[in-house]
Amino acid sequence: MSTCSVSKGCFVFKPSTKKRRLSEKTDHYFRSTSNDSEDTVLRFITCQSLWSQIKSETEQIQEDMNKQLLDNLVSFLSRSHSDFQEKTTEWTSRMKFREIPTAALVLGVNVTDHDLTFRGLSDVLQNNITPYVALLEAKDCPGIKNLMQKLMGQLMNCDIDVDSLEDEDCVQVSQNKIRCSMPSLISWYESVTKKTDSETPSEKRNSSSRHWQSPPVVVVFKDMESFTTKVLQDFIVISSQHIHELPLVLIFGIATSPMIIHRLLPHSVSSLLCIELFQSLSCKEHLSTIIDKLLLTSHFPFKLGEKVLQVLINIFLYHDFSVQNFIKGFQLCIVEHFYSQPLSVLCCHLVDIKKRVYSLSHDQCENIRRLPSFRRYVEKQESGKQIELLTNDSFLKEETEKLLEDLHVYHENYVSILRCLHVFTSSLPKYPLGKQIRELHCACLENQVWETNEYESSLQLARMLNKTDLVTMLQQCVEILVSSSGKEFDKTVKHLKEFLTQFQNLEASEASQEQDVSVSSQKELQKKTDLYHLQKTLLELKESRRSKKLTKFEMLRFEVVDYIDRLVRKYLVPAGDRTLHEIVYFNAATVLRGHLNAAPRTALHTALNNPHWYLKNEALKCDGGGISNKAPDICIVYKLHLECGRLINLVDWLEAFSTVVTAAEEPNGDAASSDQVDDIIHARFIRAVSELELLGFIKPSKQKTDHVARLTWGGC
């Protein structure tokens, strides 16, 4: 059994309780904390259904992304043992050394995502190529013996899975009984393939028509890097001797680079392999697709705020590159949002909004009135309406429904215009607004994007685009807007199309004009001969160009950029400015950071250094670096040990401890005079020190017997 703990130790595993009871409990969790009628059950149901939608969507995306890779692998596998099928006796195949076909599968450093890929891989293989797939992990195979055991266990089990339904007399061998050697594997393989041959044709069609008569045996090494050299070498040497009887294919899952094969295997062993390289899509592209499909869409009512999205993306880019963790974080956001925000019951699809708004309780209406964005909205209304909004529940509900619908429309428009803007900004030199759409999205969410310097500079750059680029971009924008679900874009599309036709009309007229100007200036240039005059005319020419009336193309270009600018200002308003955005946007970035990016060292230090922070006891509050004697013993010991060097003298430490503890109790210094330390204080000190040792701050030192060594900062 494995744990998710980072530390080593003993873990207790209780037998898992029944699943049904668990699911009953979970909606209870939602309810117990909020005791009022805040639609907790409905919120829980909404949360569950939303998550299941998102989950299926992400799985679909994952499958699509891996499709190319898996197809390549399948074709490789089907090719790999073609000569085993045909049993050719040609000269070349006779002379050639039979190498083990090997696929080196480079998957990137995000090891946590690999499991999903391998699961997909083994599913695909079992459906298309062979039922005999074994997945091996380095931690299960410290020696060749364990590897063989694991391999045979998996292979023979999978066979039993397939056959046990139909025939009872199949060899029920317990794993311990069989000899873990290649010959027994080969005899198993022969018996299995023979059995499929002898099956009746009708049966054959059902069970194994997808596979060939002698399907290859695929062995997947999930984490190539962690395998020891000896195990791999031995396994390859052994299996290469039996490649004629057992069509084996190896798949190496590689996290770093394929060079690891040469590092792990000497030439004498790697020459037994026929290695082909397969590369999975980079995890960054994977993330872009996920963001594109999950966040930049109006399918899901739930949205992430700028800060939260930034936290998730930062964890991805700075720490783990793991798409799985990103999705987990997203899931946490959903749960947290529906749990902590009572109004999240309104975070649902447009069709349900009306019903839900009208069934809101009075408490919930008060909740709405308390929302900061709603208060801002109220303040902007005239006084009569203000009173209505604040006192009349049914009027408030009507208004809320309207506002929520507005919010929905805003999202639809936002996504389309964001994509249009991205078309422009992603092709500018140096990418002032970022190369990826996620960066642009964050910038737009954060504040009014048109007020930033980056936006200004990108507009400036856009004004210098050449015609062909501009035309293709406009065409892309038209495509995006046409395919978008927003209803307001008919006019915009018409406008953009007009621009396009204008550009086309320009072509003919412009060409002739341009030539005239350039020719005349060229002539002037040729007349002047001496340096001074040449310089002068060049300056004049430059001057005239600057002040020169803009060409038609340039004018049009300005118009286009201005039009885009207007669209941005209209539609890309940051979500924080919209009324009722709290209902669909999750913004609690600090909560998320606390959950996902925990800082154990800092937390421990805070707890020991400033116990008031966690214990909320006023008496513990201390200012400055002083040590209060009311603090728990371990805190006092910890603070004292911070002042010491690498080695701490236990006697001195005890002395200091007893001074601190007794200081307030007996201010007249009665105990200080006697050098005998109280037994109770001594015991408390020993307990505190051993607690500190358990936490890993100190350890007994071998250098001096009455000293302990510090293990943390300042220890060296």
Partner 1 sequence: MPNLDHPAYPADDLFHLESLVPCRESQVSMLLSIFGERQQFSFPSIFIYGHTSSGKTYVMQTLLTTLQLPHVFVNCVEYFTSRLLLEEILIQLQNRSPGTEQTSPVHCDTLNDFVRLFKQAVASQKLQDETLYIVLDRAEQLREMEANILPAFLRLQELTDRNVTVVLLSEIVWELFRPNIGCFEPFTMYFPDYSIGHLQKILSQNHPPEYSADFYAAYINILLGVFYMVCRDLKELQHLAALNFAKYCEPVVRGEANERDTRKLWKNIEPHLKKAMQTVYLREISSSQWERLQHDGGEPGQLKGLSAHTHVELPYYSKFLLIAAYIASYNPVRTDKRFFLKHHGKIRKTNFMKKHEKTSNHLLGPKPFPLDRLLAILYSIVDNRVVPTANIFSQITSLVTLQLLSMVGQNDQLDGPRYKCTVSLDFIRAIARTVNFDIIKYLYDFL
Nearest residue to 484 via CA among 548, 422, 420: 420
Q: Alpha-carbon distance 613 to 111, whole Å?
A: 37
Q: Which stretch binds partner 1 (CB under 8 A): 301-309, 348-356, 437-445, 592-600?
A: 592-600
- Closer CB to partner 1, 313 or 444, in the complex: 313
Compute CA 428 distance to the chain's CA centroid, rounded to the nearest angstrom: 27
Site string for partner 1, 225-244 (x = CB under 8 A): xx-------x--xx--x---
Q: Alpha-carbon distance 583 to 303, whole Å?
A: 9
Smallest gap from residue 698 Cβ to partner 1 (A)? 10
Strand pairing category for 585-586 and 273-279: unpaired
Q: Looking at 47, 61, 104, 105, which residue binds partner 1 (CB under 8 A)?
A: 104
Compute CA 593 distance to the chain's CA centroid, rounded to the nearest angstrom: 14
354 binds partner 1 (CB under 8 A): no
Smallest gap from residue 700 Cβ to partner 1 (A)? 11
Inter-residue contact 220 to 121 (CB < 8 Å):
yes
Q: Residue type for 201, please?
A: P
- Closer CB to partner 1, 258 or 632, in the complex: 258
DSSP string, 271-288: TTEEEEEEEPPPHHHHHH
Smallest gap from residue 606 Cβ to partner 1 (A)? 13
Please list the residues that pair with 101 across neighbouring strands.
274
Q: Looking at 1, 2, 7, 626, which residue binds partner 1 (CB under 8 A)?
A: 7
Phi, psi of 195 (to 5 degrees): -60, -40
Site string for partner 1, 250-269 (x = CB under 8 A): -----xxxxxxxx----xx-
532 binds partner 1 (CB under 8 A): no
Footprint of partner 1 on 65-94 (CB under 8 A): 79-80, 91-92
Q: Residue type for 663, please?
A: A
Footprint of partner 1 on 303-322 (CB under 8 A): 315-321
- Closer CB to partner 1, 260 or 541, in the complex: 260
Q: Alpha-carbon distance 397 to 708, whole Å?
A: 68
Sequence-distant (≥ 6) Cβ neighbours of residue 49 within 8 angstroms: none
Footprint of partner 1 on 405-444 (CB under 8 A): none
Please list the residues that pair with 252 across neighbouring strands.
104, 221
Q: Alpha-carbon distance 39 to 42, whole Å?
A: 5
Smallest gap from residue 263 Cβ to partner 1 (A)? 8
Footprint of partner 1 on 595-624 (CB under 8 A): 597-602
Smallest gap from residue 597 Cβ to partner 1 (A)? 5
Q: Looking at 52, 175, 181, 213, which residue binds partner 1 (CB under 8 A)?
A: 181
Smallest gap from residue 311 Cβ to partner 1 (A)? 12
- Closer CB to partner 1, 225 or 565, in the complex: 225
H/E run at residue 518: helix 489-527
Q: Alpha-carbon distance 431 to 440, whole Å?
A: 10
- Closer CB to partner 1, 13 or 91, in the complex: 91
- Closer CB to partner 1, 250 or 567, in the complex: 250
Nearest residue to 663 via CA among 631, 615, 707: 631
For the chain, the first-to-last Cα distance in angstroms comes to 37
Phi, psi of 251 (to 5 degrees): -125, 120
173 binds partner 1 (CB under 8 A): no
Query: 3-state class of 585 per DSSP?
Result: strand
- Closer CB to partner 1, 257 or 590, in the complex: 257
590 binds partner 1 (CB under 8 A): no
Q: Alpha-carbon distance 518 to 477, whole Å?
A: 34
Site string for partner 1, 466-495 (x = CB under 8 A): ------------------------------
Q: Which stretch binds partner 1 (CB under 8 A): 59-67, 178-186, 524-532, 673-681?
A: 178-186
Smallest gap from residue 251 Cβ to partner 1 (A)? 14
- Closer CB to partner 1, 26 or 690, in the complex: 690
